[in-house]
Amino acid sequence: EVQLVESGGGLVQPGRSMKLSCAASGFTFNNYDMAWVCQAPKKDLEWVATISYDGSSTYYRDSVKGRFTISRDNAKSTLYLQMDSLRSEDTATYYCARVNYGAYRGVMDAWGQGASVTVSS
Amino acid sequence: DIQMTQSPSFLSASVGDRVTLSCKASQNINKYLAWYQQKLGEAPKLLIYNANSLQTGIPSRFSGSGSGTDFTLTISSLQPEDVATYFCLQHNSWWTFGGGTKLELK
């Protein structure tokens, strides 16, 4: 069974940093691109960042470029999101998701339950 | 950026009803539209991808249709376990999500 389990969320002050982790199991982690998606309170889901299967390519939405870093450790089957210079508008639940290409053509086909991040003083 | 608009935002229906949810794209996304179900406190579950392909293990009462800018998710006979929020995702150009439809039992 495919499982994605996020950890590392919590309360953080504006301007500080936080690192989220996503432990993957039940599939060959290094065969898949991975992504982070967030949902702020009462807002739509938003794609945050994607990393290629081997970590060689990364992509970010404009609002987090230069502040967030997506990375992965394929030996540990773990995805990360380093969030620096956090702002109140970064308050959200952050989900990690598997990106499935081929016949699925880039669909996020498996998701974690999410990690809550609150940026507040 | 591609915008995705779902309607209605809330829907109340009875067990056994045929339920239709809509998702509209601000520009042509071909057939690259997915539907998800999310229950409170759970991870989103993929139901449909490429507009009309049923994900493995999903009951056949769920179906998707559409192409271009207009898409529909249909539940042919609503079951109590279908109470959830449903959202769409365009995967034609990067990824953009719809705002969701919250489905409740009448």
Q: Please write the tens of the pLDDT for every residue from A9-58.
A: 999 999 999 999 999 999 999 999 999 999 999 999 999 999 999 999 99
Contact with chain B for residue A38, Cβ under 8 A: no
d(CA A5, CA A24): 7
Q: Which two tokens stand for residue A21?
A: 């982790």
Other beta carbons within 10 Å of B14: 9
Contact with chain A for residue B66, Cβ under 8 A: no
Q: CA of B97: which chain A residue's CA is closest?
A: A45
Cross-chain Cβ contact A44/B55 below 8 Å: no
**Rg of chain A over all Cα atoms, to the nearest angstrom:** 14
Burial of B25 (0-12, 13-18, 19+ CB in 10 A): buried
d(CA B81, CA A104): 26
What pLDDT is stored for residue B41 in this prediction?
Answer: 84
| B65 contact partners, CB below 8 Å, separation of at least 6 | B51, B52, B71, B72, B74
What is the average pLDDT across B74-97?
96
Whole-number percent of chain B with pLDDT over 90: 95
Q: Where are the beta strands (DSSP E) in B1-106?
A: 4-7, 10-13, 19-25, 33-38, 45-49, 53-54, 62-67, 70-75, 84-90, 96-97, 101-105
Chain A neighbours among B 20-59 (CB < 8 Å)? 32, 34, 41-46, 49-50, 53, 55
- Sign, CA dihedral A47-B23-B63-B38, equals positive
Q: Please write the tens of the pLDDT for every residue from A68-98.
A: 999 999 999 999 999 999 999 999 999 999 9
Closest to B32 measured CA to CA, from A106, A109, A99, A33: A106
pLDDT tops 90 at residue B79: yes
What pLDDT is stored for residue A100 in this prediction?
Answer: 95
Q: Please write the tens of the pLDDT for every residue from B7-38.
A: 999 999 999 999 999 999 999 999 999 999 99
Cβ–Cβ under 8 Å, residues B36 and B44? yes
What pLDDT is stored for residue A103 in this prediction?
Answer: 82
What is the overall mean pLDDT for chain B?
Answer: 96
What pLDDT is stored for residue B81 in this prediction?
Answer: 96
Q: Please write the tens of the pLDDT for every residue from A94-108.
A: 999 999 998 888 999
Distance, C-alpha A89 to centroid of its chain: 16
